[in-house]
Structure 1
Amino acid sequence: MWFFLKGAGMGAADVVPGVSGGTIAFITGIYGRFLHALKSFDLNALAVLKKSGVKAFWRHVDGAFLLSVFAGLVTSAASLAKVITYLLAHHQILVWSFFFGLIVASFIHVAKQVSQWQWQTVLSCMIGALIAFVITTIAPSEAVPHWWMFFVAGAIAVCAMILPGISGSFILLLMGMYGHVLGAITAKEVSLIGLFLIGCVFGLMIFSRFLSWLLDNYEQLTFSLLAGFLIGSLNLLWPWKTVVSTYTNSKGIEKPLLQQNVSPMEFASVTGLSPQTGLCIALAVAGLLLILAVEKLTEEK
């Protein structure tokens, strides 16, 4: 049940463009086990299945753990898709404020995994921050939703999903597939969802091996790089933004193309809307405290 809830947290995070399920996995203490379980699906696993049967294969791939995590992840993502879409459409400032606090706390948690900050780890952190910052400044596009695009989107986005600080949902947004994937989930288009999930499995099998190798061989540099990803992603989650330019998507709906971060006062001046500064700060602090509480609870487990 505990692993199911952790998976549900990952699923909830993955629905939001800018928040990574990998961050939640890291904070809740299942990140390393999750990567190694994914990596265990290899030729050795097939050999175990052939030689010793299904039970031995299930133990080899840590099947019970993966089943619980993915059950929570899929259940949460499917049930929260409409809720998150509504909140982002009607209360975007408040949502980004809450997740801004989450990511700040996540950075603190990941940075604490670096035992000693030297020039190599500082440089790695700076590189990670720069990469994430550049990704978050790229303007989103709108893709034509051909069936094969769902497979490709799943394979690419899932790589970002398991990286703390890099959001799979935001990668989907950049590819122009975020709305189409959410639409397929809410409309229960089984074939398209299936293609997306197959792409996710394909991407997970490849990228999890690479990431696991990095953690096994360059742990401190990898942790500092991941911490940098988190800091760089804060650019996307800054609550107060003004629209610089817009575009019209394939459904004829006008959407923001380029946005810039502004102060709460400038936001109020330009948009004529209340910046809700006090509530935003309170939500950011709540997000930070929530992660610290989860971290403490996980340590006690």
Structure 2
Amino acid sequence: MAEIVPGISGGTAALIVGVYETVIASADQLIRGVVRGAADLVRGRGAARAREHFARVSWGVLLPLGVGMVTAVVLGAAVLGPLVESHPVQTRAVMLGLMAVSLIVPIRLVGPRWRAGEVLLAVVAAVGAFLLTGLPAGTVTDPPMILVAASAAIAVCALVLPGTSGSFLLLVFGMYAPTLAAVNDRDIGYLAVFMLGAVCGLALFVSGLRWLLATYHRVTFAVATGLMAGSLRALWPWQDADRGLQAPGDDLGVVTLMFLIGAAAVAALLIAESALVRRKRASGAAVLD
């Protein structure tokens, strides 16, 4: 659902529920297996090496996640899209609450003590995200298929990078409305080209991201924190048609309530996750005893 709303990051949602690094590692192995299998099939070497990669995929996480994502995109395009259109201020307020509290996740993954370099990187990333989310929306009425594939390849990178929104990038490129319409109209040709571009973009991006997570874990999440913080600009409730920020209006009380509802939802998830982790650790200690 997060990827349908411009300004909300699917990577952030994965961080909140604790599956982000598992998904990145599994996606990397899945892509490697497909590429290795295709290459070995052409060379007549069989599928043994591809199966080794597939065996490292956390299918118990990836398959339910995939089913949930496809279902949410189909339902969300029909429900959430009109909701954003009819109640933009209140919807952005809820999303702002969700995202603001979500900053706790990457901050905690960096560690309790931030180094000066990590703070600087986070600030630079925040400024970049703030400027990006202020770009005016583009408009494309009849996009060529090469543009559909290219925009999908770029947007899918934002799908797996916390703090960046794939749907927001589509909005900037002018491809958000055509893509949402294709989902609602079940335009198979458009969606097939879009998926092909997304798969190619993911294949090129996810291996590098996994390497960054393994090699520069703290730095990667420091940058993610900055991206998430800067992207909060896109969710400021009061905006004009060109995304210019405006002062709070007469509906400040309602908007504040919506913000608190969103914040409370994520806070409840984080509290539940912390309790679950403590319970698992306690169980492990009991077994050791």
Q: Where on the TM-score scale, by shorter chain, does this alignment land: which range?
A: 0.7 to 0.9
Higher RCO (CA 8 Å, separation ≥ 6 residues)? 2
TM-score by length of 1: 0.83
Pair 1:119 & 2:116 matched: yes
Distance 1:288 1:51, change over 3 A: same
Alignment of 1:10-159 (within 5 A): 12-40=1-29, 41-42=31-32, 46=37, 50-51=47-48, 58-115=54-111, 116-143=113-140, 144-159=142-157
Pair 1:259 & 2:243 matched: yes
Secondary structure in 2 matching 1:141: coil
Which residue number in structure 1 is paired with residue 285 of structure 2? none
Q: Which amino acid aligns with 2:118?
A: T
Secondary structure in 1 matching 2:172: helix
Alignment of 1:165-244 (within 5 A): 165-242=163-240
Give the C-alpha shift of residue 45 in structure 1. Answer: 5.3
Q: CA RMSD in A?
A: 1.9
Distance 1:294 1:146, change over 3 A: same
The 2-side partners of 1:101 and 1:110 are apart by: 16
Secondary structure in 1 matching 2:110: coil
Distance 1:120 1:106, change over 3 A: same
Distance 1:82 1:25, change over 3 A: same
Q: Which amino acid aligns with 1:284?
A: F
Q: Which 5+ residue runs of structure 2 have no aligned equivalent?
A: 278-289
Q: Which amino acid aligns with 1:51?
A: A
TM-score by length of 2: 0.86
Secondary structure in 2 matching 1:164: coil
The 2-side partners of 1:259 and 1:202 are apart by: 31
The 2-side partners of 1:63 and 1:85 are apart by: 30
Q: Deviations over 1:212-246 (max 9, x none)?
A: 1111111111111100011101111100123xxxx
The 2-side partners of 1:49 and 1:100 are apart by: 50
Which residue number in structure 2 is paired with residue 7 of structure 1? none
Q: Which amino acid aligns with 1:145?
A: P
Identity %: 30
Q: Which 5+ residue runs of structure 1 have no aligned equivalent?
A: 1-11, 243-255, 266-274
Which residue number in structure 2 is paired with residue 296 of structure 1? 271
Q: Deviations over 1:10-51 (max 9, x none)?
A: xx0000000011000011111001111111121685369712
